[in-house]
Structure 1
Amino acid sequence: MECHWSDTAAPTGLPAPLPQSAAYATALTALGRRVIHARLTDSGRDLAQAQLILRSAGRLGTLAYLPRGPVWAQPPSPAQQRTTLHLLRHTLPALGPVALIANAETPYQDTAHHTLGHSALITPQHIATLDLRPDDDTRLATQNPKWRNHLRAAGRKGLRIMNAPLPPDPDHWLLRAEAKQRSIRRYANLPLSLPLTLSRLAPHQTRIFTAWVGETPIAAMLFLLHPPQASYHIGWTGPQGRAASAHHLLLWHASLWLRSKKITGLDLGTLETDINPGLARFKIGSGATARPLGHTWLDAPLVTPLGRLLRPARRLKCGGGATIS
Structure 2
Amino acid sequence: MAQLPLTLRRVAPDDWPELCRGFEDLTYEQTLTYAKAAAERIGSNAEFVSLHNALGAPVAAACLRVKRAPLLNRGIAWIAAGPLTRLENDDMLDADTLCGVLRDLRQYAHFSGHTLRLRFPASVSVPDEVIARAGFVPTARAPVYRTVLIDPKQNDEKLLAALHGKWRNPLRNALKAELDLETGPIRFLSQRFQILYEQVQAAKGFRPDIPPEFYYSLSGEDFDHTVLVARKDGEDIGAMTLGIAGSNATYLFGATSPTGRRLNAGHYLMWRAVLHCRELGLKCLDLGGIDPDVNPDVTRFKLRTGGRDSTAAGPYEAWPKGPVAGLIGLAESLHRKYKT
Q: Aligned partners of 1:292 and 1:109: how far apart in 2?
A: 13
Deviation, structure 1 residue 45: 2.5
Q: Give distance in 2, aligned partners of 1:24 and 1:243.
A: 35
Residues 46-195 of structure 1 mapped to structure 2, 5 A cutoff: 46-60=58-72, 61-72=74-85, 73=87, 74-92=91-109, 96-105=112-121, 106=124, 108-122=126-140, 124-167=144-187, 172-175=191-194, 177-178=196-197, 181=200, 184-195=204-215
Alpha-carbon distance between aligned partners in 2 of 1:145 and 1:18, rounded to the nearest angstrom: 32
What TM-score does the superposition give when structure 1 sets the normalisation length?
0.82
Judging by fraction of residues, say which structure has more strand.
1
Cα offset, 1:56, TM superposition: 2.3
Amino acid aligned to 1:79: D
- Is this contact kept in 2: 1:165–1:203, CA < 8 A? no
Contact kept in structure 2, 1:230 and 1:267, CA below 8 Å: yes
Equivalent-residue separation in structure 1 for 2:222 and 2:59 (angstroms): 31
Matched residue SS, 2:238: strand
Q: Does 1:25 align with 2:65?
A: no
> Deviation string for 1:233-288 (max 9, x for gaps)?
00001221111111111111222122111112101021211221221121122221
Q: Percent identity?
A: 22
Which moved further from structure 2: 158-167 or 110-119?
A: 110-119
CA distance in 2, matches of 1:204, 1:121: 29
Contact 2:44 2:65 in 1 (8 A): yes
Aligned partners of 2:314, 2:82: CA distance in 1, in Å?
Answer: 12
In structure 2, relative to structure 1, the CA distance for the partners of 1:35 and 1:189 (3 Å cut) is: same
Moved more, 34-43 or 57-66: 57-66
Instruction: Name the Cα RMSD after superposition.
Output: 3.0
Report the alpha carbon displacement of residue 162 of structure 1 after superposing the two structures with TM.
Answer: 1.1
Name the count of aligned residue pairs: 303
- Structure 2: gaps of 5 or more residues: 1-5, 326-340
Distance in structure 2 (CA, Å) of the matches to 1:163 and 1:65:
33
Partner SS, residue 81 of structure 1:
helix
Separation in structure 2 between the aligned mates of residue 297 and residue 210 of structure 1, nearest angstrom: 38
Map of 1:320 onto structure 2: none
**Aligned-pair CA distance for 1:101:** 1.4
Rounded to whole Å, the distance in 1 between the matches of 2:320 and 2:179 is 57
1:32-56 deviation line (CA, Å, top 9, x unaligned):
7532222111111221111211222
Following superposition, the deviation at residue 64 of structure 1 comes to 0.9
TM-score, normalised on structure 2? 0.78
